[in-house]
């Protein structure tokens, strides 16, 4: 049996082999056309590979949506020392659970993408940074790496091309911030996972001080299909600016949560009511977080006519991020959920920038006070002011991410906050 939940509107490219244990093996992956793209790429020039990816319009799937081909072209053309490719498998944005499936069901798809990427940017070593908690998925990937070494796809002189590429699977140790690309590099270097000031950008000074590119698991997993079928093939799905398919991770109050691979530009309402089966009896939509906990919350009204591409979600005042759609019905206590998200950021702040280290803690404390019925109306102004001071003032965007759901929820669900505040007044809380 295939993956336990699928939908007829899905376009299953990356998720084609999910649910079938055979796909984990070299043989199983080859049966799905695997490793032909690698062969093809090695027969092309690096420039041609990058050009094909540029044509596809593939945008980074880790959240920022930066065009992958352009990112690769930032790497120095002339090689003066080692180059590195890092694959970011430190999936830990609340609401996101696609990379884990890519790792544990289709590890060779990722390995093939890593090898093609490494070839394109002249890297001889790929580090795949898996989050520490992914013990099971990481072992599946590790076994696949061993198998690919045995089959001659990784290592010295791959497929007789004269190119050497190594892959090392790295297991983290529990730090959300290591999903930030420069923190990830610090972590591989054996440091605390503190984001670095940019510039210099990783393509100039990256891992161990060498030119480095960091790509998400889903991005690299898309590469073999683009190479096999051509960049323009990929453009048959999605929109002009957001081409291709995307894994949508849907969680929360819908009947069929899960991963669905859909063309970018898919209507949000169709995703909620058709693909995911809508809400339980008597419940209705209250709020949606369309791109993981770091992006602004959308109200039910914002969802009307919203299309799930990078531009479409921005039009509605939020961001697509990594397409982690968290859906909340009308039973949801918004203040509690925002407080829980902010607790997360307070816990995960690396602590190097003051606005984030202090700000996340204060947001959490004030939100808890409001949730417990001890808040005041002035607290809302304080939260917004704190959020302002936390936005655009730090090395990385964790601070902004903590402020975004607070500001947007106060803007869109002010009555929920005020109800808790008034309840406090009624019971005469101190």
Which residues in the 99-138 window bind other proteins by CB under 8 A? 99-100, 104, 130-138
What are the beta bridge partners of residue 247? Answer: 261
Closest distance to other proteins from the beta carbon of 202 (Å):
16
Window contacting other proteins (CB under 8 A); options: 66-74, 164-172, 357-365, 382-390:
164-172
Task: Candidates 169-177, 362-370, 383-391, 408-416: pick the segment binding other proteins (CB under 8 A).
Answer: 169-177
| Measured distance CA(141)–CA(65) in Å, rounded | 25
For the bound state, the minimum distance from the C-beta of residue 150 to other proteins, rounded and expressed in Å, comes to: 8
**Binding of residue 360 to other proteins (CB under 8 A):** no
Reduced to 3 states (helix: H, G, I; strand: E, B; else coil), residue 311 is: helix
Which of the residues 36 through 75 are near other proteins (CB under 8 A)? none
Q: Among 12, 54, 149, 376, which residue interacts with other proteins (rule: CB under 8 A)?
A: 149
Q: Which of residues 328-357 bind other proteins (CB under 8 A)?
A: 328, 332, 336-337, 340-341, 344, 347-348, 350
Q: With respect to other proteins, which residue has the nearer C-beta, 53 or 338?
A: 338
Instruction: Name which of residues 206 to 235 contact other proteins (CB under 8 A).
Output: 208
Point out which span in 61-69, 115-123, 146-154, 216-224 binds other proteins (CB under 8 A): 146-154
Quote the least distance from Cβ 196 to other proteins, whole Å: 15
Of the two residues 53 and 272, which places its CB atom closer to other proteins in the complex?
272
| Residue 31 binds to other proteins (criterion: CB under 8 A) | no
Q: How far is CA 397 from CA 182, 197, 273, 349, in A?
A: 12, 12, 32, 10
Q: Which token pair is 171?
A: 């297991």
- Residue selected from 139, 228, 376, 382 as contacting other proteins according to rule CB under 8 A: 139
SS3 label, residue 128: strand
At residue 258's C-alpha, the angle toward residues 252 and 263, to 5°, is 110
Strands 324-329 and 285-289: antiparallel
DSSP labels, 82-118: --EEEEEE---STT--SHHHHHHH-HHHHHHHHHHHH
Q: How far is the CB of 157 from other proteins (least distance, A)?
A: 16
Please, which of residues 243-262 interact with other proteins by CB under 8 A? 249-259
SS3 181: helix
Pairing of strands 245-252, 324-329: parallel
C-beta separation of 306 from 289 below 8 A: no
Interface with other proteins includes 385 (CB under 8 A)?
Answer: no
> Are 283 and 329 in contact, with CB atoms under 8 Å apart?
yes
Whose Cβ is closer to other proteins: residue 123's or residue 328's? 328
Cis preceding linkage at 251, omega within 30:
no
- Closest approach, Cβ 346 to other proteins, in A, equals 11
CB of 5 to other proteins, least distance (A): 6
Residues 76-95 that bind other proteins (CB under 8 A): 82, 91-95
Q: Is 419 helix (H, G, I), strand (E, B) or coil?
A: helix
State the minimum distance, in angstroms, from the CB of residue 144 to other proteins.
8
Least distance from other proteins to the Cβ atom of residue 9, Å: 17
Q: By rule CB under 8 A, what count of residues binds other proteins?
A: 82
Q: At what angle do helices 107-121 and 46-56 cross, to 10 degrees?
A: 120
Q: Identify how many contiguous H helices and E strands the chain contains and give both numbers.
A: 18, 11
Options 19-27, 38-46, 229-237, 371-379: segment touching other proteins (CB under 8 A): 19-27
Binding window for other proteins (CB under 8 A); candidates: 7-15, 42-50, 162-170, 266-274: 162-170
- Minimum distance from residue 149 beta carbon to other proteins (Å): 5
Q: Is 30 in the site for other proteins (CB under 8 A)?
A: no
Select the span of 34-42, 326-334, 366-374, 407-415 touching other proteins (CB under 8 A).
Answer: 326-334
At residue 62's C-alpha, the angle toward residues 184 and 197, to 5°, is: 45
- Tokens at residue 77, please? 């053309």
- Phi, psi (deg, nearest 5) at residue 155: 115, -150
**What residues contact 392, with CB distance under 8 A and at least 6 apart?**
400
Quote the least distance from Cβ 428 to other proteins, whole Å. Answer: 27
Residue positions counted in the chain:
430
- 10 touching other proteins, by CB under 8 A: no
Contact 65, 102 (CB under 8 A): no
């Amino acid at each position: 049996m295939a993956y336990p939940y699928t939908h007829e509107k899905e376009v299953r490219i990356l998720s084609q082999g999910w649910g079938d244990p055979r796909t984990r093996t070299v043989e199983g992956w080859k049966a799905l056309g695997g490793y032909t793209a690698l062969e093809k790429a090695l027969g092309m020039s690096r420039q041609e590979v990058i050009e094909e990816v540029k044509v596809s319009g593939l945008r980074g799937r880790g959240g920022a949506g930066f065009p992958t081909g352009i990112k690769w072209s930032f790497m120095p053309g002339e090689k003066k020392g080692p180059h590195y490719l890092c694959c970011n498998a430190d999936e830990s944005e609340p609401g996101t659970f696609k990379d884990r499936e890519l790792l544990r069901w289709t590890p060779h798809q990722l390995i093939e993408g890593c090898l093609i990427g490494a070839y394109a940017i002249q890297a001889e070593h790929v580090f795949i940074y898996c989050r520490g908690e992914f013990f099971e998925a990481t072992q599946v990937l590790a076994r696949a790496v061993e198998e690919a070494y045995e089959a001659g796809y990784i290592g010295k002189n791959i497929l007789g091309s004269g190119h050497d590429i190594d892959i090392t699977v790295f297991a983290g140790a529990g730090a959300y911030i290591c999903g930030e690309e420069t923190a990830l590099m610090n972590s591989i270097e054996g440091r605390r996972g503190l984001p670095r000031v940019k510039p210099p950008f990783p393509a100039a000074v990256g891992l161990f001080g060498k030119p480095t590119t960091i790509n998400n698991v889903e991005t690299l997993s898309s590469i073999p299909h683009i190479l096999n079928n051509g960049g323009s093939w990929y453009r048959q799905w999605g929109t002009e600016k957001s081409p291709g398919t995307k894994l949508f991770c849907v969680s929360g109050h819908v009947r069929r949560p899960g991963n669905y691979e859909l063309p970018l530009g898919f209507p949000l309402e169709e995703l909620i009511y058709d693909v995911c089966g809508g809400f339980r009896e008597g419940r209705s939509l209250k709020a949606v977080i369309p791109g993981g906990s770091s992006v602004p919350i959308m109200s039910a009204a914002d969802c009307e006519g919203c299309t799930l591409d990078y531009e479409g979600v921005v039009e509605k005042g939020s961001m697509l991020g990594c397409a982690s759609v968290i859906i909340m019905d009308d039973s949801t206590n918004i203040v509690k959920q925002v407080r829980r998200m902010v607790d997360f950021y307070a816990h995960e702040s690396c602590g190097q920038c003051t606005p984030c280290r202090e700000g996340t803690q204060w947001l959490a404390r004030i939100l808890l006070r409001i949730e417990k019925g001890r808040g005041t109306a002035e607290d809302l102004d304080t939260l917004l002011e704190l959020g302002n001071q936390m936005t655009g003032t730090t090395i990385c965007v964790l601070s902004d991410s903590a402020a975004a759901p607070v500001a947007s929820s106060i803007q869109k669900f002010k009555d929920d906050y005020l109800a808790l505040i008034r309840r406090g007044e009624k019971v005469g809380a101190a």
